[in-house]
Each structure stands twice: as C-alpha cells, then as structure tokens.
Structure 1
C-alpha cells in the first residue's frame, strides 16, 4: 500500500531507512527470507551489470527493493511498494521490457474473473527511476466476441517522489465510454454478419458497442457484392438503436468500397444527423440526392431529406 512505511530492512539489518532519502546502504539481498520474498538478478540501471530486485511474494505484502551492483557489492537504490493492492492486483513478475527500450516491466495481475493485467514500465535516468507509463489489459469474460481492452496511460512520475508524497497519484485508465477512442480494443470474431444484425436488433448496447468491434468484423468478412446488403442492414439497425458512431463507421466503409451505393448515403445522413453532426449529415444527404437524380428517382426522395438539407 502506498502510505504504509516499509520497515523490513530495519528489522533485518537494524537500519533506519527513509522512504525518500536513499544512502545506497551496502547490503546482501540474498539475506531476505525466500519464503516471503522473490529475489531476482536484473540489470535495474542498465549499466550492463546484474543487480538485484527483491519484492514481496503474492499475498505476502507489497514491498519492492532495487539493489545496484557496484564492484560486486550491492547498495539499496530504491525502496517502495510493488503496486499490489489489497483484494486486487498482485505483482507477479519483473523483467526487462520486451520493446528493448531500457525499461523494466513490473507485471501485476488480477486473480479473479477476467484475469486482467497492469504493466508498469520503469526507466532509469540521471540516477532516478521513473514510471513512464502503465499498460492496462482488461478482458471481458462474457463478451461474445472475446473483447480485450489494451490501454496505455502516460505517467512520467519520479518513483521516489511517488513513494514519498501522498499527494501524487497515478493517471487512471480511461473510462469504458472513452476507450473506443483512447485504447486498442481487440476482438475474436466468430459470429456471422447476420448474427450481428440479430444481436443489434434484440440485445443491449453493451453486446455490440465500439467501432473497433466492427473493424474486426470487416477484417474477418471483407465487404463484397455478396454481403454489402447485409452490412447496410447492419448499419441501418445500428442507427435505429441509437448506436450512431458504430453505424457511421460501417457506412463509411461501405461507401468507400461502393461509392455509388445510394441507400448507404441516406443511412449515413440519418446516422450523422442522430449524432448531431449536421454539416456532415447534409453532405451525405446531398450525395444521396445527386445519385437519386442521376437515376431518375428524384420523386422517391423522402421529404425529410430535403427539409434537413434546407435547414
């Protein structure tokens, strides 16, 4: 826990250590109790020498210590908590970041349903450790398309300051309403387009929300002459259910591949109008009117379209 002073080294060595001031005290990290602590050799300051990281085992506390290697002697360089939470996420590992960016990755996981993860990316610069960013992975166990949200949150926080000052806190993961724009959302699509249409017509918004779901659907089933009507129907029912951004996403893909598909433009205009994006809605309606006139179908244009364009 952030506000709990860590006294394990005091008990082990009889030393008084501040949470903020680090005197690089000489110590043998291997003297920690292996039943309560994980002890790993990792280069924490990226000088090419293996150092030591010691942290509490799951459900045994939340302590974290970095010891740097100076001529094969080890000195305390960081003392804090390992981002474990009571009744929540627990630290499960620490290792060099996979992107070869000279950063450490502290991995925490949630042991309950969904098996979520938070990875804390730590860099070392000018003898200071910084929490650069957190990467949150949220799995939706009951989502029909296997939804997984991956959100990278910039932090840029001096760890020493974070551990010593109660008024410093981490930036949080975006809310679910913001994730379609701010996060990467992955899906494993197994349902058909018709299954999606039925879902949109009958089920709650949470089962068919986010534009990235439809990006995954279109990636699996490319829009073709054979299925463009199904996609148009899907977009139509999305608009009728008030899922405007999802409807617009599908329709823009339709008109990109089929720029002369007249019905898509009136549906796009309706969805944009529902989203209160009136100028873009009028543009879509104007294209619809133009195509209808070219086909000699001006008399079939709904009066509402002319009314909206004239506003």
Structure 2
C-alpha cells in the first residue's frame, strides 16, 4: 500500500507535465518586434491591433479583397502574422505580414479551387510584395466581376489535364468565373482532343461553351458552339447561345443569322414558342 501511494503523485505529475506540454504546443506565441517579450493580436472588423510586450500599441487596416471578405488570424511563426481571407465556394487566400520598424506585407498566396486536382488546397500563386502596408497599391488586390485583375488565378499549362470529367470543368467555370480567362486556342484544342464531342456529352459541351461566353471568353465559347452546330445542326439551344455570343461582341450580322436559325428550328420542331426569349425578336427586327 505504501508503494502504491508513492506512485500516484508521480503519475499525476507526469500527466500534468504532459497536459502542460500539449497546451503549450497549441499556444500561438508572437514576438513580432523580436524583443523577447510576448505580443498579443486582436482582429476586429478588418483592423489588426497589436499590443507589443513593452506595452506599446500598433494597429492597421488589412487590405480589402472584395471577393474574400472573411478574415481570421492564422499562425506561421512567432515573427510573422498570417491572415486568412475566405469567400464562398472554397475560394481563399492568405497574406503574410511582418514587423520591421513598420508593418510590411511579405506576400500574398491564392489557392486552386480545382475539383479534379489531387490536392484541392494546392497553392497556385505566391506574389511577393515586401512593401510597407501604407505603400501597397490597392490595385494589387483589385477585383472585378470576373475575379482577380492583377493576379493569375490559374495557369494555362496543364489546366485541362486536371479534368477527367467535363461536368467538373463546367462546375468550376460556374463557380470561378476567372477560370474562363485561362482558355485560349491551345487550351481549347487540348480540350477537344481529350474530350471528343459526342451525343453523350453534347449537353455539357454546350454548357461549357455557354459559361465561357458568359464569363467573357466569347472567342473560345463561339469556337465550341460552332463545332456543336457542325456536328449536330438540329441542336436548337446551340444557335441561341451562339447568337447571344456574337451579339455580345458586337457582331450583329452573325447574331441575327443565328437568331433566325434558332427561331426556324423552334417552329419546325414544334417547340413551345412561349419559351423564346423576348429579346430575340427585338434583335432581328
């Protein structure tokens, strides 16, 4: 009994040491000014507030990335702040910031949302900045309706190789409009070779073409739609999408020609004419 009692305190001590080491491992320690005193961070409504260990305070507003509105502090090391930006549909990025007499943005990282890629969190871009926050040009983070203006969202090289299922490509084009900008003549040629147009995939072909044109890449979208019409001349919706694409780039002559063919097929195939968009007849007048 005496030996057992002696062992119990030792077991408790070992457990306590293990627990403390575990808690310590989970604890994010910051020493941003490298003075061997712990600093504390608070992020509130886009303002990052830092209280240095020597009791002085500093704060600055994070760069605004419109499409990535949610921010939180991550942890890389004691001398650097990682801020995570996130939007909807898994799009996210990080900004790394450090302190050296001033707050400096080290780099910006963005991540690939590709559904077919082995690692869906694959980092596709690191843009080194290394400038004080106050000197960073806001256009670096500027975004329009199609995505990031100044940063390459996806690399053209090997983009098609990531997609075994064209339905996933359509889904990504729907979720990430900027992906359309990565398609050029070479890319679409690779796509045609990898995914040959057939009766079984003509619908998704048409949908991909539609998304490409809707997201601003009319040239490649028109290329696909013309291929569909050549192989399946009775496919009604392809004529409508093709006409809309031509209209959007100002080629009204080609647009009207395809609008008329679309209407003709709707009538000859006895489709519901009430489903014809009202703008069609207005445009062919």
Q: State the TM-score, normalized to the length of structure 1.
A: 0.39
Which structure carries more strand by proportion?
1
Q: State the TM-score, normalized to the length of structure 2.
A: 0.42
